[in-house]
Every structure is written in structure tokens, then in C-alpha cells.
């Protein structure tokens, strides 16, 4: 199975900060990497697909990059509604696997 | 509007069975692969199972293989998850999820084309406890 790791596991940031979350796969997955956002009590929602493509309706302050085994999700200027948990997911090989999540909370 | 509505969750004793259903609307159901993803309250996401548009390709997480069975009824726009021999560790919210792809994986396990999950249902809680 392909193992996904994320760092950090949590971070505290202020509104307006630039935030970067890293995701690493245990083997190369090309760009078969997606990012999801989940707020408490809600279902996850898609943010970024295929490593760097912004899903429809997602603000442009979100961006994704990377290929192979190393990926990043960047929020250029953190907004109050961005405080949530973020998960990466590989869709290269079954079983599909998620990272453990990165919780972003208010400093 | 795309809608995915799960049902069938509840409290069940260890060793018993439960069947989850997901009613979908707002898109052509048999054009897309579908999945179940679960989440223990307060924990991370775990993919449980996926099925291609025509049920020709199916996959399971190792943790549920041999106990859970995914199926779909394209005529009635519904997705199902039959869960047998339930354990306490199966306690979680179960989400029905639509894939962007129609296919799932090939016989070697590699996904056929790109895949991402959108949208997700609101989830149904399964609690396994005596």
C-alpha cells in the first residue's frame, strides 16, 4: 500500500499568514494527488485535484504543487473561513489512501 | 444540484450486519465510479471501498476485505455497502462519495485515469457496540 504522510500535523496561524502544508507519498504517484478541506461537523470538500488544479469555486488563495513523492498545499493569505483540517489523498493505486491530516487553527 | 444522501447507519452489536445505502440525484449515476469513505469521530479519513460505473472493477481496504461488499443499482441510482461481522473498530461516520472517473482500478490495482472525490454525502454514523 502507498503510505501518505503530512507535516505538520497541526499549526497555529493568524489571518493573513501564508501557510504551507506538505504531503509525502511512500512511492512515486506522479501527480495523482488531491487535497481536501474539512470543517468540524461537515463532510470534506475537494480543494485541489491532480496536484495543482484548483477545483471550481475554491478561492485562488489556495494552490497546490508537486509531483512524484512530494507535494505542497499553500494558502497565500489565510482567511477566517480557512481554519479547518486538510487532507491529502493519493489516487494512483488501490487501496486509495489519505494522509493523517493537518489541522490549521487560530493563533 | 448533485446530492448524495446516506442512510442505514445506527447502533449494532459486534458480529452483526448492517447495510448502508446512498441515494443519488443531480447527475448521470452510471457515468461515474463511486466510493465509501469512513471517519472515526475526531480522527482521519479512511477509504473503505470503490466501484466502477458498471461494477466491473471493485476495490476494498484491507481492513474490510472479506467482510464488506460494495454494490450499486444503476437503475435506481443507489450505492450500497453491506457490512458483515462488524467490529468495534468499524465505528465511524460513513460517507458516500462520487468520483470524477467512471472506471476504478485495473487488475493490478492501478487506477484507470485520474480520480478525485466530489462531492461527498453528509455521512451516516455506524456505532458497533454491545
pLDDT score of B123: 98
Q: Mutation target for B interface from A43, A45, A98: give the one with most B CBs within 10 A.
A: A43
CB contact (8 A) between residue B45 and residue A36: yes
B53-68 in b/e form (b: 16+ CB < 10 A) is beeebbbbbeebeeeb
Q: What are the E-state strand segments in chain A? A: 4-7, 10-13, 19-25, 33-38, 45-49, 53-54, 62-67, 70-75, 85-90, 97-98, 102-106
Cis omega (within 30 of 0) on the bond before A8? yes
- Other Cβ atoms within 10 Å of B27 Cβ, number: 15
| Residue bearing cell 493490478 | B108
Section B10-39 average pLDDT: 97
DSSP conformational letter for A88: E
DSSP-assigned beta bridge partners for residue A89: A34, A98
pLDDT tens by residue, B60-113: 999 999 999 999 999 999 999 999 999 999 999 999 999 999 988 887 888 888
**Computed from CA positions of residues B113, A24, B70, B8, in that sequence, does the dihedral angle turn out positive or negative?**
negative
pLDDT tens by residue, A38-94: 999 999 999 999 999 999 999 999 999 999 999 999 999 999 999 999 999 999 999
Q: Is the CB of B56 inside 8 Å of chain A's CB atoms?
A: no
CB contact (8 A) between residue B110 and residue A1: no
Amino acid at each position: 500500500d502507498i503510505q501518505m504522510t503530512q507535516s505538520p500535523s497541526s499549526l497555529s496561524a493568524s489571518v493573513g499568514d501564508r501557510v504551507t502544508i506538505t504531503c509525502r507519498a511512500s512511492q512515486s504517484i506522479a501527480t495523482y494527488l488531491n487535497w481536501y478541506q474539512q470543517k468540524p461537523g461537515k463532510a470534506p470538500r475537494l480543494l485541489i485535484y491532480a496536484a495543482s488544479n484548483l477545483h471550481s469555486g475554491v478561492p485562488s488563495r489556495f494552490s497546490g504543487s508537486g509531483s512524484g513523492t512530494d507535494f505542497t498545499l499553500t494558502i497565500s493569505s489565510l482567511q477566517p473561513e480557512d481554519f479547518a483540517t486538510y487532507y491529502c489523498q493519493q489516487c494512483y493505486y488501490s487501496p486509495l489512501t489519505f494522509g493523517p491530516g493537518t489541522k490549521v487553527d487560530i493563533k | 444540484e448533485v446530492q448524495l444522501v446516506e442512510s442505514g447507519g445506527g447502533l449494532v452489536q459486534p458480529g452483526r450486519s448492517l447495510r448502508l445505502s446512498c441515494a443519488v440525484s443531480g447527475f448521470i449515476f452510471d457515468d461515474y465510479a463511486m466510493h465509501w469513505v469512513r471517519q472515526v469521530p475526531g480522527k482521519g479519513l479512511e477509504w473503505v471501498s470503490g466501484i466502477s460505473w458498471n461494477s466491473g472493477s471493485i476495490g476494498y481496504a484491507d481492513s474490510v476485505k472479506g467482510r464488506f461488499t460494495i454494490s450499486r443499482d444503476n437503475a435506481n441510482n443507489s450505492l450500497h455497502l453491506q457490512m458483515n461481522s462488524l467490529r468495534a473498530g468499524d465505528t465511524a461516520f460513513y460517507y458516500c462519495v462520487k468520483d470524477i472517473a467512471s472506471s476504478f482500478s485495473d487488475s493490478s490495482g492501478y487506477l484507470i485515469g485520474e480520480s478525485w472525490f466530489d462531492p461527498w454525502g453528509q455521512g451516516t454514523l455506524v456505532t458497533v457496540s454491545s
